[in-house]
Chains A and B, each alone.
Chain A
Amino acid sequence: MANKAVREAVPAKAQPKLSTLVRVCAAAWVVPGLGHLLLGRKWRALILFATIVAMFLMGIAMRGEFFSTSSGSYLQTLGYFGELCVGVAMPAARFFGYAGGDPLFVSADYGTACLVAAGMLNVLAILDVYDVAMGRKP
């Protein structure tokens, strides 16, 4: 009975539509920070965009490697999906002429780590967008 009274006193949070969730999560994947921007978290969006893009550009500057799925190696395939998680940045880098790294360059391994780390950070940002959209986080 007490629980019923509490339930009536506290209004239930409105659950967002599935289409809204998919839209903000997809936006967060395509451009880091865009999901937060759509949810009205401007500063968080700006910080996430700046840091994740800076991490990706650091990887490019150190000539990190773009993995592919055609090698047949599970680790390379995982690396490909890890880098793909950063969204439009990888296709954009290819479009602007980045051929996918130079394995003989002195800091290429660090660059590859930065590229994959940028993707993983964007995954965390996407999960955060989901939580914010569901009302679990401010």
Chain B
Amino acid sequence: MAIPHLPAMLLFSFLVSVVFGVLSKDTPRDRLLYGGKVFVAFVGIAVLLGWIMYPAP
């Protein structure tokens, strides 16, 4: 199954964020906040790096 790059990256980020959130924090609210931050960081940095590397051949 060939998953396009963006959905694959989103899925990967989501799954890793869930595990990080569950393991790093103790209350459901903290877990949700931390997981959300990690997810946004994953996606944001990936998009930023994509734009930076866009002019590269």
Name A residues whose Cβ lies closer than 8 Å to a Cβ of B.
44, 47-48, 51-52, 54-55, 58, 61-62, 105-107, 110, 113-114, 117, 121, 124-125, 128, 137-138
How many chain B residues have a CB neighbour from A under 8 Å? 14
A128: chain B residues within 8 A (beta carbon): 23
Q: Pick the residue among A105, A121, A137 that contacts B26 (CB under 8 A).
A: A137
Contact in complex: B26, A62 (CB < 8 Å) = no
Q: Which residues of B, 1-40, contact A by the 8 Å Cβ criterion?
A: 1-3, 5, 8, 11-12, 15-16, 18-19, 22-23, 26
Contact in complex: A52, B12 (CB < 8 Å) = no
**How far, in Å, is A16 (CB) from chain B's closest CB?**
19
CA distance A107 to B8 in the complex (A): 9
Contact in complex: B15, A51 (CB < 8 Å) = yes
CA distance A126 to B48 in the complex (A): 33
Q: Pick the residue among B2, B11, B22, B23 that contacts A58 (CB under 8 A).
A: B11
